[in-house]
Amino acid sequence: MEDYSNLLSLTFLAALFASGIRLAIPIFYAALGEIITERGGVLNLGIEGIMLAGALGGFMGAYYFEQVASAELLWLAPWAGLAAGIIAGMALGLIMAVLAITLRTDQVVAGITLVFLGQAMTTYIFRQQFGELNARITGFQELNIPFFSDIPFFGKVLFSHDILTYLSIIILFISGYFLFRTIWGLNIRASGEQPAAADTSGVNVNVVRYAAVLIGAGLAGLGGAALTVQLGIFNEGLTAGRGWIAVALVIFARWRPGLAFLGALLFGTATALQFRAQALNIAVIPYEVFLMMPYVLTILVLMAGVHKSDAPAALGTPYVKE
């Protein structure tokens, strides 16, 4: 009988949870972006395509910056990649906004079309620009917080990550404050709940919805770029369904940023377990079981987390001013 004691060792668990946190960050950014978009009343199912665009934009931004920057400025390359990823995400988000808000097309169809557009576009551009090149970029370095990173177990899990992980905590609090404590957040929520009442109060519903879609797409693009910067590479179909997981996570989180962060940690840990369990080569469990884990978890979340009363009342409904 094989020895599986490594599965329960503190070293294994610390590495598992630390990897889970890193893998959760791209999904969290995408889910947060979708929360803001849906709070504004627009259902954007194109997150998978937007994340792919952000991933390629992030890779190209960092790669070409590295080609022209001096040695003293190379540390800025990952930041250039993140900025390029946000711009790429917002570009696809603008297409979604035009289709859903201005042209009032079916938002489900428009979102799915955006997924195919993102997949085809990123594949074509990547092949044209890089072909068979084994191109790589340099990501962020791990930041070990003094004293805290030396704490047994918890230091590895919580205090030894790159800047993207710590930045996600800041963005989490900013987004919560923005949505629930500012007039701009109130306008977004009103446009998703009672657009006619918001319009009567002087809110330009369509402008607010455009802003919500662009902010959400920018965050989804940031999620894709974060994935590229973490891995240091781009491959066709790199997101591997993470955009769809982010959409499911919004339902699980009841359209709240804090719950989305916790849900992203759950998915990230499931994905990390998939990778690490395969590496242990556990013979009694087929490796396909580990491959299915994040997606089975997505189905369970959808089954257990559907709260129709929590969804914005006007979600997916184009606003026509009477």
Task: Write down the pLDDT at residue 2.
Answer: 45
| Residue 133 pLDDT greater than 80, yes or no | no
| Residue 4 pLDDT greater than 70, yes or no | no
3-state DSSP percent of the chain in helix, strand and coil, to 5: 75, 0, 25
Query: Domain for residue 45, yes or no?
Result: yes
Supply the CATH number for residue 289's domain. 1.10.3470
Residue 176 to residues 19, 25, 41, 70, 157: CA-CA distances in angstroms?
25, 17, 18, 39, 24
Task: Write down the pLDDT at residue 305.
Answer: 58
Average pLDDT over residues 80-105: 96
Would the pTM of this model clear 0.85, i.e. be above it? yes
Query: Domain for residue 127, yes or no?
Result: yes
Query: Domain for residue 13, yes or no?
Result: yes
| Residue 74 pLDDT greater than 70, yes or no | yes
Query: Domain for residue 132, yes or no?
Result: yes
| Residue 283 pLDDT greater than 60, yes or no | no
Taking the C-alpha atoms of residue 56 and residue 62, their distance in angstroms, rounded to an integer, is 10
Query: Domain for residue 318, yes or no?
Result: no
Residue 38 to residues 41, 104, 147, 241, 253: CA-CA distances in angstroms?
5, 15, 41, 20, 12
Query: Domain for residue 322, yes or no?
Result: no
CA proximity to 248, closest of 30, 77, 70? 30
Query: Domain for residue 109, yes or no?
Result: yes
Give me the residue label for tokens 């709940």: 193
User: Directed axis angle between helix 47-68 and helix 77-97, to 10°?
Assistant: 150
Taking the C-alpha atoms of residue 189 and residue 256, their distance in angstroms, rounded to an integer, is 12
Query: Domain for residue 19, yes or no?
Result: yes
| Residue 307 pLDDT greater than 70, yes or no | no
Chain segment 136-162, per-residue pLDDT in tens? 898 888 888 888 777 887 888 888 888
Mean pLDDT for all residues in the chain: 87
Q: Which domain holds residue 67?
A: 5-310
Domain count, the chain: 1
Give me the residue label for tokens 């923005």: 178
Chain segment 154-185, per-residue pLDDT in tens? 888 888 888 999 999 999 999 999 999 999 99
